[in-house]
């Protein structure tokens, strides 16, 4: 059997299930409580997998700010094409150099641009398979992965049934625009999506937000 790390996902969504504003970014809709919760979840992970568009659009803070003496998970970025600007926070403030997985087509661009701020791993083949990335991470000794992708990256993990735990924060806003993404999704439904697969393990409300945690039923 293939060994891979446990993969947990953490996302915040509005009451109407959106994870991005109409401008394609996520800011100003989660409270300090959610950020604290996010850091607590991050502090339990060995690696933090981030989406390329999320880094480009949101430039997220990746170091822990609300957990004392916690270990920052190592950032992991999947790049199938192109590269990223080296002035993003993930490269400037990470305690450990981010790990970047890329392909033959963009390896030299990534290396030229980011070799001084990241460790770069070239994977064979035409597409970056999340399963191959996870196998690699396991071989490197990482056992707990936290995925905070955008919905596209999340979808590529859900589609291969690689996620075992979901944290969702519901924030008290309705955006209303119908073409905004949810926590995950591509062009097709998931296989047997209507079979009960997820069990609610915890739920709590703090002020005006709800924090949910589901685990996959084995």
* 103 lines the binding site for ligand NAP (CB under 6 A): no
Lookup: tokens for 186: 């591509």
- Measured from the CB atom, is 20 or 72 closer to ligand NAP? 20
Stretch that binds ligand NAP, among 63-71, 77-85, 192-200, 209-217 (CB under 6 A): 77-85
* 81 lines the binding site for ligand NAP (CB under 6 A): yes
- Measured from the CB atom, is 153 or 166 closer to ligand NAP? 153
* 82 lines the binding site for ligand NAP (CB under 6 A): yes
* 20 lines the binding site for ligand NAP (CB under 6 A): yes
- Tell me which of 25, 35, 111, 136 binds ligand NAP, using CB under 6 A: 25
- Tell me which of 35, 36, 80, 89 binds ligand NAP, using CB under 6 A: 80
Reduced 3-state DSSP string for the chain: CCCCCEEEEEEEEECCCCCCCCCCCCCCCCCHHHHHHHHHHHHCCCEEEECHHHHHHHCCCCCCCCCCCCCCCEEEEEECCCCCCCCCHHHHCCCCCCEEEECHHHHHHHHHHHCCCCEEEECCCCCCCHHHHHHHHHHCCCCEEEECCCHHHHHHHHCCCCCCEEEEEEECCCCCCCCCCCCCCCCCCCCCCCCCCEEEEEEEEECCEEEEEEEECC
**Cβ at position 86, least distance to ligand NAP in Å:** 16
* 153 lines the binding site for ligand NAP (CB under 6 A): yes
**Cβ at position 82, least distance to ligand NAP in Å:** 5
Binding site for ligand NAP (CB under 6 A): 11-12, 19-20, 24-26, 51-54, 57-58, 78-82, 128, 130, 148-153, 156
């Amino acid at each position: 059997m293939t060994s891979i790390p446990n993969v947990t996902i953490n996302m915040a969504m509005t009451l109407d299930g959106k994870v991005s504003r109409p401008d394609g970014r996520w800011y100003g809709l989660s409270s300090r409580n959610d950020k604290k919760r996010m850091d607590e979840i991050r502090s339990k992970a060995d690696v933090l997998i981030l989406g390329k568009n999320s880094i480009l659009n949101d430039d997220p803070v990746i170091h822990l700010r609300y957990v004392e003496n916690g270990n920052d998970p190592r950032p992991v970025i999947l790049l199938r094409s192109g590269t990223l600007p080296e002035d993003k926070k993930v490269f400037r403030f990470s305690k450990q150099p981010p790990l970047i997985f890329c392909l033959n087509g963009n390896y030299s661009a990534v290396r030229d641009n980011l070799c001084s701020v990241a460790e770069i791993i070239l994977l064979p083949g035409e597409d970056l398979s999340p399963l191959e990335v996870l196998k690699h991470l396991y071989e490197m000794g990482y056992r707990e992965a936290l995925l905070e992708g955008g919905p596209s990256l999340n979808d590529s993990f859900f589609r291969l049934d690689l996620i075992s735990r979901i944290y969702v924060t519901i924030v008290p806003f309705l955006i209303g625009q119908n073409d905004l993404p949810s926590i995950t999704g591509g062009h097709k439904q998931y296989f047997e999506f209507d079979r009960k697969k997820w069990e609610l393990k915890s739920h709590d409300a703090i002020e005006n937000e709800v924090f949910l945690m589901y685990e996959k039923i084995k």
